[in-house]
Amino acid sequence: MAKFNKGNKIGSWSFLIGVILALLFGLFGTFNQGAIMILVFLGLIIGLLNIADEEVSPFLMSGAVLVVVSALGQGVVDGIPVFSNVLQAITVLFVPATIIVALKNVLSLARR
């Protein structure tokens, strides 16, 4: 069983809170500038603290697919604003997390 340090707990809670907030912001139509800032901040924390070295590849693959599908899915469900808002909120949460993890991975590869 993996040991959890304070960074892992903060990252894990950020992930859980971020996903719940993305769903709530999308469902209740409160997806505004403040919501975007909160989700971007949580995404940055997720990328910095939640992804261990052995999780980088699966996270990048899943994160990239999630971002692409969420972004493209917004156009598909454009007639249903609630779904479009939820997908937009998920995209806003995962884009910064995916960028941070990708940058950390590239820096790690460059150091080898």
Report, as ranges of residue numbers, the positions in the chain whose pLDDT lies below 70.
1-8
A 10 A CB-CB count for 70 gives 21
Residues 60-74: tens digit of each pLDDT:
999 899 889 988 887
Does residue 5 sit in helix, strand or coil? Answer: coil
The Cα 112–Cα 57 span in angstroms is: 17
pTM, 2 dp:
0.85
Q: Where are the domains of the chain?
A: 6-111
pLDDT of residue 1: 40
